[in-house]
Structure 1
């Protein structure tokens, strides 16, 4: 049997065409022409695992909102950017983004099991994108080997867990052979949207003496059902720690109860919430973005709503490639006497004295 570099999605194939979405009841027939226009611009893929979660009777279903295309995606705003986080400006060789001194992104493939409608790389991923050739991948790993300051390699894309176990194993072994690389981190939607792919062969392909982490992307608690829990368990039982990434999305998780349920579910599955991303300025995604003020209010409310284990860092990827900045609320202020004012989770302020050498009262 052949061993393709990219394995097809596990189980039944994903829905990729607007007429398939209509036939499956995920979109009304009278929207078909509009969805065809969206499909001509942006890739579509919805796995059976996600399609089965959609409630077709709910016009505001949070799962459908993430994966079912909408004609609003063709509304491009002046502030939106084809490369909103500046990958290209920090790419010394194809497939590498070197933005921070001690870590790089490695993007071996353009393919994803699903295409999120809010994706910040939507201009780069999909059937029209390019996977690295063997020579290009070798050059990318050579770049890492030639830069001893690189301590961590973050493998993203596209979704790297779409690679076959053979290719994953080769990649992990190649990176593990670089002495100064201590951490290999995979960013993936696969454990959520195609949990059957996380099988014994894939888990075995990630095995190495180096620290391997998997960042799991989920935005709503309903995405983390029994099958997803089993996939995450297969990773954690192999000694692979999991961290959680989510995007703050209007109409999906932009309220305290929904975010709390998601973060608690993550922690219950041994996924430590890591980042809550403010929506990027990707083309056609205005309908998903909250204001930063709204995001800060939600994160402030989370402080009293859920355990410290459940708290992610609210971050903005600064447009132009300047990196991530934490943009959460500030719980500290100063009074006129120079004392600290600390706000508790109920919103009440309390005075805290500065050191004697700092006391101006």
Structure 2
């Protein structure tokens, strides 16, 4: 017993850096199954981080989902810096122990919109299939914390068959989003079976895989998996992938290799980031992320406003932040690198997009629309077509505002020079 105690004391003195080296060298790094088998859990975090008091409280008292991260994703985090963006997505903090008055387990009312277990039918033509309750990393901001990492939410084969029956009996459904959890944490054979069932339903034309594994476990995107996906990516079923990179530190060479494999399998990849307080809620950070994503050949899709889920107050940002970020990005990166800023409306209202107000209004006497340039901040006029029946549709700009802008505005007959000088 004495010798065991001494050994325990030596281990306790091992630094987070040394503990990480021991972990990383204990298995074949590129083996995704070994990565999953060696996931770091809550009780392991003190070995790999110098924890703050806030983190210690968060680990002990979190009201959110379980803690878990792959060694790969752990390697992207900083053991010493509590402000490391990756660390904040791995390690709970004190804010996770509070159930704030504005929060609820299911703010989108997905359960109320589930005709059968594991299937949400919010939009007429599409459904979300909850295929799996497990993820490679349990992100602290996860909007489905009520289900993810909870074994009682496991989707058995019989549950999935009921979902397929519902889809077969509703011919208006043409688009199926496979989410979870992470569908790519299922076995190759189960993924093959799910895609085969969807491909056989004649009115299902589109399948979208919602997975974070290119970010948290890129070695899961194996050649065998891509062959399975490609075999179902046919003229009967078009398969897309949406992933979630939230910070440029996640844009690694391993991630790029995974994305290239998916692209070679004919799968277009889009990114759905979440704007998160203290992680990516400033203009330059989000711009750098989306420039990196284009280098990885990923197109921007959505930037989500965080959901009102329990213990999430530490992640949520003012709505204006998202609008400011989109305004800042416009003109600094190609349009395919600028996401739509969306709010998934509480109560099951679906997504709405939000953005800067580039359109000032319509001047009825001159029949001109007035716009503000995203690139230069200047004002520009564009006429309504002759014979238009929509003139009453537009918000009118006042004569006072029109008079102020007219002398300093630009049109098809007066342009800007390359350095901002007005053209002749």
The two structures have a TM-score, normalised by structure 1, of: 0.92
1:350, distance to aligned residue in structure 2 (A) = 1.8
1:46 corresponds to 2:46: no
**Shift of residue 289, structure 1, vs aligned partner:** 1.2
Cα separation, partners in 2 of 1:353 and 1:127, compared to 1, 3 Å: same
> 2:372 aligns to what?
343
Matched pairs, number? 353
Q: Deviations over 1:267-312 (max 9, x none)?
A: 1112111111011111111111111112111111111221112011
Summarize deviations over 1:95-123 as a string: whole Å, max 9, x none: 11011111100111111111111111111
Contact kept in structure 2, 1:12 and 1:48, CA below 8 Å = no
Q: Give 4+ residue runs of structure 1 displaced > 6 Å after superposition.
A: none
1:150-169: per-residue Cα shift (whole Å, max 9, x none)? 11100001110100001000
What does the per-residue CA deviation read over 1:216-257, in whole Å, with 9 as the maximum and x for residues that have no partner?
111001101011111111111111111111001111111121
Q: Please show how residues 227-238 of structure 1 align to structure 2 within 5 Å.
A: 227-238=254-265
Cα contact 1:26–1:68 (8 A) shared by 2? no
Aligned residue number for residue 4 of structure 1: none
Q: Give 1:324 shift.
A: 0.4
Matched, 1:270 2:294: no
Distance 2:144 2:182 in 1: 11
Work out whether residues 331 and 343 of structure 1, in 8 Å CA contact, stay in contact via their aligned partners in 2. Answer: yes
Q: Deviations over 1:175-207 (max 9, x none)?
A: 100001111110010111001111112212213
Q: Displacement, 1:339?
A: 3.0
Structure-2 separation of matches of 1:304 and 1:310? 11
Q: Distance in 1 between matches of 2:381 and 2:370?
A: 5
Q: Which moved more, 1:79-88 or 1:22-31?
A: 22-31
* Contact 2:54–2:93 (CA under 8 A) maintained in structure 1: no
SS in 2 for 1:184: strand
Matches within 5 A, 1:240-319: 240-319=267-346
Asked if the contact 1:88–1:97 (Cα under 8 Å) also holds between the matched residues in 2, the reply is yes
Q: Tell me if the contact between 2:361 and 2:370 (Cα under 8 Å) persists in the aligned partners.
A: yes
SS of aligned partner of 1:93: coil
Equivalent residue of 2:130, what SS?
strand
Cross-structure match for 1:74:
97
CA RMSD after TM alignment = 2.0
Are 1:185 and 2:208 an aligned pair?
yes
* Greater RCO, CA 8 A, separation 6+: 1
Aligned: 1:123 with 2:146: yes
